Chain A
Amino acid sequence: MSYQGKKNIPKITSDRLLIKGGRIVNDDQSFHADIYMEDGLIKQIGDNLIVPGGVKTIEANGKMVIPGGIDIHTHFQMPYRGTTTVDDFNQGSKAALAGGTTMIVDHVIPEPGTSLMEAYDQWRQWADEKTCCDYSLHVDITHWNDSVKQEVDNLIKEKGVNSFHVYMAYKDYYQMSNSELYEVFTFLAERGGIAQVHAENGEIIAEEQARMLQMGITGPEGHVLSRPEELEAEAVFRAITIASQTNCPLYVTRVMSKSAADIISQARKKGNVVFGEPITASLGTDGTHYWSKNWAKAASFVTSPPLSPDPTTPDYLNTLLSSGDLSVTGSAHCTFSVAQKAIGKDDFTQIPEGVNGVEERMALIWDKAVTTGKMDENMFVAVTSTNAAKILNLYPRKGRIAVGSDADLVIWDTDSIRTITAKTHNSAAEYNVFEGMELRGAPLVVICQGKIVLEDGNLHATSGVGRFIPCSPFPDFAYKRVKARKQLAVLRAVPRGMYDGPVSEFSMSRGGTPSASARTSPTKQPVRNLHQSGFSLAGPPTPDDVPIRPAGRRIVVPPGGRSNITSLS
């Protein structure tokens, strides 16, 4: 493992830790046991552990000890039109730790036309300097050609990236055509990557935006009006179709609406390998705020796909999350200051998109799903960390409390009640989309890399200790099924005699043949060459006496008397 050797062993006193009397909650079971950690790893689990002297001991007093959260979707320090999001890797990962999240996965967004590898290096540099917790990276594919293909290949093989994000929205910018998506997915399926999609129909959005602006709607409400949830559902449906065609695992980022979630859950019922990621905002709040009279407040909710104006959405998404139809939760934390948002004060299409949520994520799910009885504590662990670790192929290093796993732990206080407010949050943004919300459940102690970073409400995060965690391709969680299906789904041609009947003359002028791929498909195929070479038809043609459907089996000798239309039959 390439652990960034230089900052591998920071000298910290609490190198060895013992958590006593906690209830360990993994995604599969809960049990009472003590945990002994050393050098950032969990060394022992059990009762009456034999530990060296001088170990710092934390009394959990029967509280839950859960694997630290993994926020699978953040945008820290994201450049946007010459500015960057107000939460950089330091600020952002601090907020993450404060919320009980000990690992983040950030999105690398190269500008279209620029090198993926350079962007990746840039992000690595930023993150290595500043993060306070472990991190990993997704790389967004913003354009597609052969050199990008090569870079993706390198990123998978050498750089520890196994998930790539493509866009179906942002027309003329990030958006990819269906053909490109097909190629990307095919390629990722070969290399064992996870295809993440931003699912919205960008073309229709562009038309709708133009219409809204024409109608004189320029405020943030235009954002949600021009991006109705149908468009999200449509794109999700399309993405699933393409993924299923290419037999590639699909990961839908930011499931914001009921209909999109429904499509995912239907597809899963049909057996598609698809994962849905609702984000903190879609699980916790809704899109009615877009109509707020306070422009700054309304603008702070702007994200894409937008929050659904249907106030029953969060509840619904929490239900699907509990039932396992949605798999992981992210935050899509991407915060802009009000001044930055105000770039779009006269035109909602210019408002930088992004909401906060990295800090609130775990508590919000606990409050909305566990305390309401929708999900149990094990499922809570699954959706906040374990599933994410599995998808990223980091399991069981992350997302589980087991001997040998990283010592990223959270002692969860199920009873603490907090009111979310921008005054006290760790993000640098002026607005918090969850402002005023009371959340039950909070981390009491957060241990990251075997060190206590949150205790008694005090954050002791150290900038730059975060390590890059490389993700290897072909995660079993996603690819086991895919591999098995690949073996089954082998298509075969029907061996037929050569058609030797008359062939109608056709003009080669190609007056627009209805044949779809006439221009793109390689019309010289191997089989024909086989026939033309010494391929033998194996003696007399087999009589076609095994009817596929008995009723329709008769072979017709047409009135014209052309009895030699086919060599078989």
Chain B
Amino acid sequence: MSDCRRQWNREDELPVYLAGPITTGPNQRKSFGMFSSVEGAFDSKTIDFDNYAVGRKGSRTPRSGSRERLLDTGDPVGKTPSEPREGSLTNSPGDREDARTGVEVRFSTEKESPDGKNERLLIKGGRVVNDDQSFYADVYIEDGLIKQVGENLVVPGGVKVIEANGRMVIPGGIDVNTCLMKPFLGTQPVDDFLQGTKAAIAGGTTMIIDHVTPQPEDSLLEAFERWQEAADKRACCDYSLHVDIPQWNESVKYELELLVQEKGVNSFQVYMAYKDVYQMTDSQLYEAFSFLKQLGAVVLVHAENGDLIAQEQRKILGMGITGPEGHPLSRPEELEAEAVFRAITLGNRVNCPVYITKVMSKSAADTITQARRKGSVVFGEPITASLATDGSHYWSKNWAKAAAYVTSPPLSPDPTTPDHLHTLLACGDLQVVGSSHCAYSTSQKAVGKDDFTLIPEGTNGVEERMGFVWDKAVAMGKMDENQFVAVTSTNAAKIFNLYPRKGRIAVGSDADIVIWDPDSVKTITAKLQQSASEYNIFEGLECRGAPAMVLSQGRVVYEDGNLQTQQGTGRFIPRKPFPDYAYQRVKFRNQVKNKQGVTRGIYDGPVYDVIPTPKYITPAPSAKTSPTSHQPPPIRNLHQSNFSLSGAQIDDNVPRRSGHRIVAPPGGRSNITSLG
């Protein structure tokens, strides 16, 4: 052990900047087989790790690839993704060994507290990837914060050192959409905050933002506190909360204000679907948007046309279709696109940022893209499910499987959807990736076995989220690693005002860090997942890219397939209103968009007498709602007082267009207007 430590140290003394940029050529290093006898079990974490072989030019350091697992007190044979390949490795260990590096943990001086409670950590030799740039640097962590980033850091003794060996060191993922406590007919999802956050961490996500889903009539505050209490007890990683607004009235307003100003919530979800339950009318949405904008909150919208869905559901049930295929049939993607369009229109009118949760279809995504081209402040969030799979499974003969895919808006049956969404994600038209993780067991789903409208909605995805974005976007060449960081964490942090505390590796940020292994290949299966649900909708899909090590709050919580989480360690992260990323433009537009009335002379011509008894109500839409009939408009008051008309007439003689002629009508009413 001491031998190898020396060996490592010597190599580390070579400055990192001597290393060339990431090479794609063959590995220059040769293996001495140093550790091959120590721990063979973890050899095959990756096969070809040439790509990120970085630093230590000319170093002849042995890379056995095995890792010392000083922290790991448990049985190392766990859910290692590479298990299946072990056999082949043992046949030719030498060939493989030189081709890979690993993530190593060790202590620079003496071994201490192997339980993971070490407060000081140094990640050496990693390539720090932020959303804007990648660079080689060491990261020193103390008390859960990043204290230093750079080379040749001066760190105190006794620091636990993690050898990144040139791997990517990225900010921990932020999953902006989870529902770990969303009640459905009295039952809770099988993944609660403990199970859910464990799954999150196993997938490289170190922060979740969960949806508080109060029922109509419930108090938002109470619901929020309930959620917070549950999460404080159970969550293993930092979390924050969105609050869903199930209905709109005066008391809700008061609670929203409290939530924003005192509770650290800056995002609220409204529903355009779920008729007669959560759905809001356009007027209510307008009011909600206006109010939330004043508070500086981000409006999340579940965008589907609930009225039409209700109609379609009735129609589909009437046709005798009761299985899960009725779910996508009654919620065609058009309805999603329509609602997205409407939400954006509302957002534009109110001049309020709009965040579309769960972008599931091409047309919805295209609608967002177009709106952004026109300058609307709108954000789109595809979820793991829409990025990795499609809705063809709703037609599976296996009811339980088909039901597992039920979520709203539904997965699009168009198999090209995931690809399209990834493209938009890569080019920045969609900004963040959530998972909308809401896992129900099959028996819970079976509540709707005879009626698809009763199937609890929700899919898994918190664990697979980062992996699939890497696999489908980065590994395919659509996206670079910086954009990967942006969509998995940075943008989310910016939108929800957590930046740069979260979503960036920088001095002062929280030490939520993932060492990412871009080459790990694993096959998703419900057997090996952290989630408690029986079905995994990504079952059997191969996914390249996985976290090699996850740090949350400065502690190693996941390493090579082993979770070392502690429930209740997750902190609630309060968020301030008016996130710059969403509101800066809005503020400026507010200043610019000042509308002014035209100053005219008072119309003194004949006025047709309207029958006082409004047998015919005016077609003016707001006749009932507008305050006009009650308060005299200010301009008129000006006229009624001593405002003089004499000055205003001069410029009136300048015609605006050729059509400006003032007509003296045949009836001879030449005094129709006082002006012009």
Contacts and interface: CB of A to CB of B under 8 A. Distances in A.
Contacts of B661: 421, 435-436
A233 B253 CA distance: 30
A422 B663 contact: yes
A230 B345 contact: yes
Interface residues of A, number: 139
B321 A514 contact: no
A222 B309 CA distance: 35
Contact of A82 (B306, B616, B665): B616
Chain B contact residues, majority secondary structure: loop
Nearest to A294: B676
A374 B275 CA distance: 47
Nearest to B398: A569
A516 B274 contact: yes
A50 interface: no
Contacts, number: 452
Contacts of B527: 556, 559
Contacts of B286: 203-204, 207
Contacts of B538: 552
Interface in B373-427: 389-390, 392-393, 395-402, 408, 415
A549 B393 contact: yes
Contacts of A203: 281-283, 286
Interface stretch (B163-171, B500-508, B559-567, B605-613): B605-613
A437 B625 contact: no
Given A434-B659, A513-B277, A548 B616 contact: no
A244 B616 CA distance: 34
A146 interface: no
A532 to B, nearest CB: 10
A506 B185 contact: yes
Interface stretch (A119-127, A344-352, A402-410): A344-352
B608 A295 contact: no
B622 interface: yes
B194 to A, nearest CB: 17
Interface stretch (A25-33, A211-219, A315-323, A357-365): A211-219
B592 interface: no
Given A294-B673, A338-B672, A346-B636, A496 B323 contact: yes
Q: Contact residue range for chain B? A: 35 or more
B351 to A, nearest CB: 11
B526 A295 contact: no
A202 interface: yes
B184 A435 contact: no
A423 B275 contact: no
A157 interface: no
Contacts of A565: 400, 442, 534
A519 interface: yes
B521 interface: no
B342 A556 contact: no
A222 B597 contact: yes
B534 A562 contact: yes
A306 B583 CA distance: 30
B525 A554 contact: yes
B622 A206 contact: yes
Contact of A205 (B457, B598, B621): B621
A171 interface: yes
B167 to A, nearest CB: 28
Contacts of B325: 493-494
B400 A292 contact: no
B535 interface: yes
A343 B619 CA distance: 13
Given A219-B600, A568-B399, A213 B627 contact: yes
Interface string B56-75: 00000000000000000000
Interface in A213-235: 213-219, 221-222, 225, 228, 230-231, 233-234
Interface stretch (B198-206, B224-232, B329-337): B329-337
Interface stretch (A11-19, A91-99, A128-136, A172-180): A172-180
A488 interface: no
Contacts of B398: 496, 544, 555, 566, 568-569
A563 B598 CA distance: 75
Contacts of A214: 627
Given A221-B598, A422-B665, A491 B633 contact: no
A503 interface: yes
Given A80-B616, A522-B314, A566-B399, A295 B342 contact: no
A511 interface: yes
A17 B286 CA distance: 62
Contacts of A234: 341-342, 345
Given A81-B610, A345-B602, A544-B398, 17 more contacts: A79-B616, A206-B626, A217-B595, A242-B308, A245-B312, A288-B657, A293-B599, A496-B398, A504-B444, A506-B186, A517-B310, A525-B318, A525-B320, A530-B320, A549-B392, A552-B393, A552-B538
**Pairs A-B, 3 closest by C-beta atoms:** A430-B665, A178-B307, A558-B534
Interface of B: 183-187, 215-217, 246, 273-279, 281-283, 286-287, 290, 305-314, 316-323, 325-326, 329, 332, 334-335, 337-338, 341-342, 345-346, 348-349, 389-390, 392-393, 395-402, 408, 415, 441-444, 446-451, 453-457, 525-527, 534-542, 595-603, 605-608, 610-611, 614-629, 632-636, 648, 651-652, 656-663, 665-667, 669, 672-673, 675-676
